[in-house]
Amino acid sequence: MSANMDVKRALWQTFLEHAKPALDQWHAQLEQPQATQERLLQRLLETNRDCAFGRAHHFARLQDSSQFRDNVPVHTYAQLQPWIERAQHESAAILTTATPLFFERTSGNSALQKAIPYTRAFLAEMHSALTVWLADMHRQVPGISHGSSYWSMSPPLQMPVAGPNGICLGSASDLEYLSGSHLAGLAGTLLIPEFNGALSQWRRQTLLALLADADLSFISVWSPTFLTSLLQPLFDAETPEQLQTFAWLEAALPAPRRSALRRARAQGDCSELWPRLAAVSCWMEGPSRHYFTQLAARFPQAQWLPKSLFATEGVVSVPFGDGPGCPLAIGSHYLEFLCEDGSLRHAHSLRLGETAQVLLSTGGGLYRYALGDRVRVVGMSGATPRVEFVGRATGTSDLVGEKLDEHVVQNLFERCPTTQAGACLIPNAYASPPHYTALVAMSRDLDASALALTIEAALSDAFHYGQARQLGQLGPVQVRLLDGGADQLAQVLQQAAESSGIRAGDFKPRSLINRLETAEALLALTESSCRHL
Find the domain containing 21 and state its range. 7-394
- Strands 303-306 and 279-282, how do they pair? parallel
Q: From CA 493, how far away is CA 422, in angstroms rounded?
A: 11
pLDDT of amino acid 157: 54
Per-residue pLDDT of 12-66, as tens digits, reads 899 999 999 999 999 999 999 999 999 999 999 999 999 999 999 999 999 999 9
Per-residue pLDDT of 136-193, as tens digits, reads 999 999 999 999 999 886 555 567 788 888 898 877 666 777 777 888 888 888 887 7
Three-state SS for 405? strand
Q: From CA 360, how far away is CA 370, in angstroms rounded?
A: 7
2 occurs within a structural domain: no
Q: Do 376 and 456 fall into the same domain? A: no
What angle (nearest 5°) sits at the alpha carbon of residue 300, between those of residues 294 and 305? Answer: 75
200 Cβ contact partners less than 8 Å away, ≥ 6 residues apart: none
121 occurs within a structural domain: yes
Domain count of the fold of the chain: 2
143 occurs within a structural domain: yes
Dihedral sign (CA 353, 355, 361, 367): negative
DSSP string, 124-172: HHHHHHHHHHHHHHHHH-GGGGSSEEEE-----SS--EE-TTS-EES-S
pLDDT mean over 519-524: 92
Which of 331, 435, 290, 313 lies closest to 373, judged by CA?
313
Q: Do 121 and 158 fall into the same domain? A: yes
347 occurs within a structural domain: yes
Q: Do 149 and 37 fall into the same domain? A: yes
State which of 394, 416, 431 marks the end of a domain: 394
- pLDDT value at 410 more than 70: yes
Q: From CA 445, how far away is CA 501, in angstroms rounded?
A: 34
Per-residue pLDDT of 321-340, as tens digits, reads 988 999 999 999 999 999 87
Q: Do 405 and 351 fall into the same domain? A: no
255 occurs within a structural domain: yes
Q: Do 51 and 169 fall into the same domain? A: yes
Contact 366, 341 (CB under 8 A): no
SS3 content of the chain, % helix, strand, coil (to 5): 45, 20, 35
Give the largest CA-CA distance in the chain: 70
CATH code for the domain of 350: 3.40.50.12780
Q: From CA 382, how far away is CA 301, in angstroms rounded?
A: 32
Q: Do 470 and 522 fall into the same domain? A: yes
Q: Do 387 and 425 fall into the same domain? A: no
pLDDT of amino acid 192: 78
Contact 400, 468 (CB under 8 A): yes
1 occurs within a structural domain: no
Q: Do 204 and 250 fall into the same domain? A: yes
Q: pTM (2 decimals)?
A: 0.78
410 occurs within a structural domain: yes
Q: Do 387 and 403 fall into the same domain? A: no
State which of 394, 427, 457 marks the end of a domain: 394
Q: Do 384 and 402 fall into the same domain? A: no
Instruction: Specify the higher pLDDT residue, 409 or 420.
Output: 409
248 occurs within a structural domain: yes
Instruction: Tell me phi and psi for residue 31, to 5 degrees.
Output: -85, -15
Q: Do 444 and 514 fall into the same domain? A: yes
State which of 334, 365, 394 marks the end of a domain: 394
